[in-house]
Structures are given as C-alpha cells and as structure tokens.
Amino acid sequence: MELTSDSTIVFEAWGIPVNSTIVNTWIIMVLLTGASMLITRKLRPDVPPNRWRTMLEVIVQGIQSQIQEITIRPARHLLYFAGTLFLFIATSNLLLVVPGFHPPTASLSTTAALALAVLVAVPLFGITSRGFGGYLKTYIEPSVIMLPFNIISEFTRGISLAIRLYGNIMSGAVIAAILLGVAPFFFPVVMDMLGLLTGLVQAYIFAILATVYISSATADPHPTKSEKETT
C-alpha cells in the first residue's frame, strides 16, 4: 500500500527526478493562480460581482476577520501569507476526493517546507515590525537565561506544525485504505466526507497557528493605553 507519492517518479528534468508530490503541488498552484485570474479579470467598480467573485470575497473577508481577532496591528501582508497557506492546504486536502490524486500535504517533505516557510516568516515579520535589534531582544526576554529556550521554542514550533499536518492527513489516508479493503463501496464515501472536513480543519489550524506565531513576533512589548483597552 503506497501511502505517499514521494517515491513515484513522474519524469526527469535534466537528470533530476520529479516525483508525484512535486507535480501535484504544481497542479494546485496552477489551479489557484488560474482561478484567481479568471475570477478577478473584470475586477472593476462598474462590473457587478458574480457568484465566484462573491465567494472569493467571502473567503478573503473571513480570513481577514480571523487575523484581526488575533492581532490588533495592521497586517495586510499577514493576510497574504496566512491566506495563501490556508488556500493551498485546503485545496490540497479537498482534492483528496479526486481519484488518483495524492495530496502533497500527505508528504512530510511538503509539510516540512510549509513549516519552514513559517519559521522564516516569523523573524522576517518580527524584524520588519520591531527592527533587527528589537526582534533579537525578544530572545532574551524576560532574562538572558531564556535565550537557548527561546531558540529551541522557535524550532519546535516548526516541527510541531509539520508533524501535526502530516500526521492528520496521513492517518486519514491509512484509515481510508484499510476500510477500502473491508467494505469497498460504503466506507470510502464516508471517509471522503470526513477527509474533506478534516482537511478544512487542518488548513484552518495551520494558518491560525502561523498567524499566532507571527503576531507574537510583531506584538509591541509596551502597548499603549488604547491598545490595552482594545485587547
């Protein structure tokens, strides 16, 4: 039973093997890019929104409202980053119902890459918000003794993100494969429905955790009185 598509080589480019996980990742990127270009090709005030544009606006506003509940600072770039994570993971998991499609999120290499993106984004957002010295100062708060623990905490966050997403998607694939052998007509339908729900939940959790980590790195250590009243 093949649980991950990393071992499936689709073709070779300049002697470099390209596996099914990479190909499926490209497919998702093309789908998301193509869909956004088609939906927003007539994005003008004089053109009334169609149902696809309305659906996209609802998704974007929903992501933005979730970010605003976590951070009080203007976070337009955070919307782009967290929204991209959510849409990519959600689309990957939803395409699980397509026969022959192996979601990239069921591969540890993909989830590790997503977690690495969050690990890189946290200090970048932190430095942009606080400055280089201000962000590095957070590693020795409240005491310089906490420096090694804060560094370890940064890496364990990324590891936990990768393992959590990979474990949930992989476990669903294993259970579906087992039940397919037991009852090939009934259980696959049930598992597909549960897989869709689990995929959306995992995409939401991953994006929210990434937002929380970035928000903590960009938070003002000495909030003003108005910010305290807002929180």
Predicted local distance difference test score (pLDDT) of residue 29: 92
Which residues of the chain fall short of a pLDDT of 50? 1, 225-231
Give the pLDDT score at 189. Answer: 61
Question: What whole-number distance in Å separates Cα of residue 231 and Cα of residue 229?
Answer: 6
Are 90 and 203 spatial neighbours (Cβ–Cβ below 8 Å)?
Answer: yes
To the nearest 10 degrees (0 to 180), the angle between helices 108-130 and 187-218 is 20
Contact partners, residue 80, CB within 8 Å, separation at least 6: none
pLDDT at position 31 is 92
9 beta partners: 19
165's tokens: 């997403």
pLDDT value at residue 216: 81
Give pLDDT, residue 228: 43
Q: What is the pLDDT of residue 140?
A: 80
- pLDDT, position 30: 93
Q: 39-97: per-residue pLDDT in tens? A: 888 777 777 777 888 888 888 888 888 888 887 666 677 888 989 999 999 998 888 77
CA-CA distance, 60 to 37, in Å (whole number)?
A: 15
Distances (CA, A) of 11 to 57, 66, 153: 38, 41, 39
CA distance 139 to 150: 6
The domains of the chain are located at 77-85+107-230
| Residue 170: per-residue pLDDT | 64
